[in-house]
Structure 1
Amino acid sequence: MTANRSSAVMAQRHEAPDSLDDFPTPPWATRSLLRVLRTHGEVLSDQYAWEPACNRGYMAKVLAEEFAGVHATDVHEYGWDGQDGVADFLIDWGQDVPKVDWVITNPPFRLGAEFIRQGLRYARRGVAVLVRTSFVEGVERYDTLFQASPEAFVLPFVERVAMWKGVLLDPDVKVWDAERGTMKSPTSATSYAWLVWRRGEDGQFTSDTRFGRIPPWRRLLTRPGDYPPVPAHLRRPEGALL
Structure 2
Amino acid sequence: MQNTSHAVMAQRFEPADSPDDFPTPPWATRALVEHVIGAENVRSMTCLEPACGRGYMSRPLAEYFLSVDSADAYPYGFGAIRDFLTHPYEGHSHDWVITNPPFRLAEEFVARAMTVARRGVAILARTVFLESVGRYETIFKEKPPTVFAQFSERVPMVKGRVDQKASTATGYAWFVWQKGEALLPPRLSWVPPCRKSLERSRDYL
- TM-score class normalised by the smaller sequence: 0.7 to 0.9
How far residue 92 of structure 1 moved from its aligned partner, in angstroms, is 5.8
**Higher relative strand content:** 2
Q: Does 1:86 align with 2:63?
A: no
Q: Which consecutive unaligned segments of at least 5 residues does structure 1 have?
A: 1-15, 172-185, 229-242
Q: Which residue of 2 aligns with 1:198?
A: 178
From 122, 130, 135, the equivalent of 2:124 is 130
Supply the AA of the counterpart residue of 2:21: D
Q: Which has the higher contact order (CA 8 A, sep 6+)?
A: 2
Distance 1:165 1:17, change over 3 A: farther
Alignment of 1:19-98 (within 5 A): 19-39=18-38, 43-80=41-78, 83=79, 85-91=80-86, 93=88, 95=90
Q: Which consecutive unaligned segments of at least 5 residues does structure 2 have?
A: 1-14
Supply the AA of the counterpart residue of 1:79: G
Task: Please give the alpha-carbon distance, in whole angstroms, between the structure 2 residues aligned to 1:76 and 1:123.
Answer: 22
Is the Cα–Cα contact under 8 Å of residues 130 and 194 in structure 1 kept in the other structure?
Answer: yes
Percent of pairs with identical residues? 46
Alignment of 1:153-172 (within 5 A): 153-171=147-165
Task: Please give the alpha-carbon distance, in whole angstroms, between the structure 2 residues aligned to 1:187 and 1:29.
Answer: 14
Task: Please give the alpha-carbon distance, in whole angstroms, between the structure 2 residues aligned to 1:113 and 1:104.
Answer: 14
Report runs of 4+ in structure 1 exceeding 2 Å deviation: 36-39, 204-208
How far residue 70 of structure 1 moved from its aligned partner, in angstroms, is 0.4
Total equivalences in the alignment: 191
1:184-218 Cα offsets, whole Å, 9 max, x none, are xx211111000000023xxx674430000011100
Distance 1:49 1:21, change over 3 A: same
TM-score (norm 1): 0.74
Is the Cα–Cα contact under 8 Å of residues 149 and 207 in structure 1 kept in the other structure?
Answer: no
SS of 2:48 mapped into structure 1: strand
TM-score (norm 2): 0.87
Is the Cα–Cα contact under 8 Å of residues 47 and 97 in structure 2 kept in the other structure?
Answer: yes
Is the Cα–Cα contact under 8 Å of residues 151 and 207 in structure 1 kept in the other structure?
Answer: no
Is the Cα–Cα contact under 8 Å of residues 155 and 194 in structure 1 kept in the other structure?
Answer: yes
Task: Please give the alpha-carbon distance, in whole angstroms, between the structure 1 residues aligned to 2:193 and 2:103.
Answer: 24
Distance 1:189 1:42, change over 3 A: same
How far residue 93 of structure 1 moved from its aligned partner, in angstroms, is 1.5
Cα root mean square deviation, aligned: 2.0
Structure exhibiting the larger radius of gyration computed from Cα positions? 1
1:73-109 Cα offsets, whole Å, 9 max, x none, are 00001123xx1x10011126164x6821000000000
